[in-house]
Amino acid sequence: MQYKKEAAFINRNEELELLSAWIDEQPEHILFFYGPKSSGKTTLIYKFVERHMKDERRFSVKLFNLREMLIVNYEDFLQRFFQIDEPVQKNASQIRHYDLKVFKLTVQTQQKIKNRQLDPFDVMKAELEDLNSRGVRPIIIIDELQALDSIYFNGQRELIKELLNFFVAMTKESHLCHVLLSSSDGYFIEKLYNDSRLKKTSVLFEVDYLPKEDIDYWLNNLEKESKISDYTLTGPQIEYIWDHFGGSIWEISTLLGQFLRVCRNGKVEDTEMKRIIERFMLQAGSYFEDYAGVKKHKEALLREIQKHCSKGCFKEWELISVVENGFFNEDSLRDELNDMVRQNFLYYNPTLAEYKLQGKSMALGLEAYVEMVENRRRG
């Protein structure tokens, strides 16, 4: 099937080399991918699997994108991760299997797990041991891991903690399985580090937005990288796009699709380009307007965040004025920042304990919001 625009995959050689080296080592740690929303973590994971792990005789790659699954309780977890195979023969219910990509359970075993007579992690370990005995390397990849947060089973055991403890045992202790976990929620990753045994059993790797040289290359080679042949962009247009979106792959890809609707004679007029981008910026500003509403403490927080955005990132202590002025206390400020991370206003880097806005478009949206507030005050 041919399209006028396809998703681009630009560079990421450093990340692919890291993954290639990691998979060639004996499993001994969990690998965590983290980074801003729409920085390309999921695309990178899929591309790595596609390029390096097609040989099913060598690898058993099990990729779960939890963004695509609704999981609100332990029963959902079992239903989504365990899939029933068709019986081998009629009325052969005794030998039906449930397939968790890697882990296959008989119906009787699955029932024992539901009845809490059997620990599912013991069954998983046995299957991993079997794969290793046959010379197959199992690799478990879970994208957007935070979807499993706050799920409990078997007498209030936290599923995420039990799962991570299992992965530590399978990597660092037993060396049975490679495990790659990904999340765009930096607070969630920090919480895991504080509440579990991950600090000396895991490696964190940030997948950030693309640098300017990669964006320049991409936008100068649209036909090669995105299969766009209806138009080309000028140098000043590429600079304008960078100034408004930085290295945000998804946003730029969306923008390129909108250009297809207005291009004429192999080009996009500057007036059309700016009109479309202005719409993006108005939307970004409206996000902050909706977030703050008429709440003075949120307005004060946004104004303070905007002060520190010129250098790109900021620490929590730099917002001390909103505490000193009575808009927040120490705990409520952390809770509010946490909420802004979860709503994708802010990105939190757990290794540096730093915040930044989710891309240039959000920075410009916040700037527009603060300017609107200032004009309203003066008016």
- Residue 19 in domain: yes
Q: Are residues 33 and 159 in the same domain?
A: yes
Q: Are residues 181 and 301 in the same domain?
A: no
72-82 pLDDT, tens per residue? 787 777 666 76
- Residue 82 in domain: no
Q: State the total domains in the chain.
A: 3
Identify the domain containing residue 124 by its residue range: 13-76+120-206
198-214 pLDDT, tens per residue? 778 888 899 999 999 99
Which H/E stretch holds residue 34?
strand 30-34
Q: Are residues 161 and 262 in the same domain?
A: no
- Residue 99 in domain: no
Q: What is the DSSP string of 307-372?
A: HTGGGS-B-GGGGHHHHHTTS--HHHHHHHHHHHHHTTSEEEETTTTEEEESSHHHHHHHHHHHHH
- Residue 153 in domain: yes
Q: Are residues 262 and 222 in the same domain?
A: yes
Residue 10: name the closest of 203, 270, 216 by CA.
216
pLDDT at 71: 79
* Sequence-separated (6 or more) residues with CB below 8 Å from residue 145: 66, 160, 181, 182, 183, 188
- Residue 8 in domain: no
Q: Are residues 63 and 150 in the same domain?
A: yes
pLDDT at 86: 42
Q: Are residues 22 and 138 in the same domain?
A: yes
Residue 252: name the closest of 277, 227, 289 by CA.
277
pTM of the model: 0.87
Count of C-beta atoms within a 10 Å radius of residue 237: 20
- Residue 169 in domain: yes
Q: Are residues 225 and 374 in the same domain?
A: no
Query: 248 with 359: CB under 8 angstroms?
Result: yes
Q: Are residues 360 and 219 in the same domain?
A: no
pLDDT at 196: 65
Of 184, 206, 228, the position where a domain reaches its end is: 206
pLDDT at 314: 95
Of 191, 206, 221, the position where a domain reaches its end is: 206
Q: How many CA atoms lie within 13 A of 146 on its CB side?
A: 13
pLDDT at 100: 44
pLDDT at 56: 78
182 vs 46: CA distance, rounded Å: 12
DSSP for residue 264: B
Q: Are residues 195 and 64 in the same domain?
A: yes
Q: Are residues 223 and 143 in the same domain?
A: no
Query: 44 with 7: CB under 8 angstroms?
Result: no
* Tokens at 96, concatenated: 């039906």
Helix and strand totals (H; E) in the chain: 16, 14
- Residue 275 in domain: no
CATH of the domain at 324: 1.10.10.10
- Residue 138 in domain: yes
Q: Are residues 59 and 162 in the same domain?
A: yes
Of 162, 191, 206, the position where a domain reaches its end is: 206
Which residues of the chain fall below pLDDT 70? 78-80, 82-106, 154-155, 195-197, 379
CATH of the domain at 25: 3.40.50.300
Determine the length of the chain: 379
Q: Are residues 201 and 220 in the same domain?
A: no
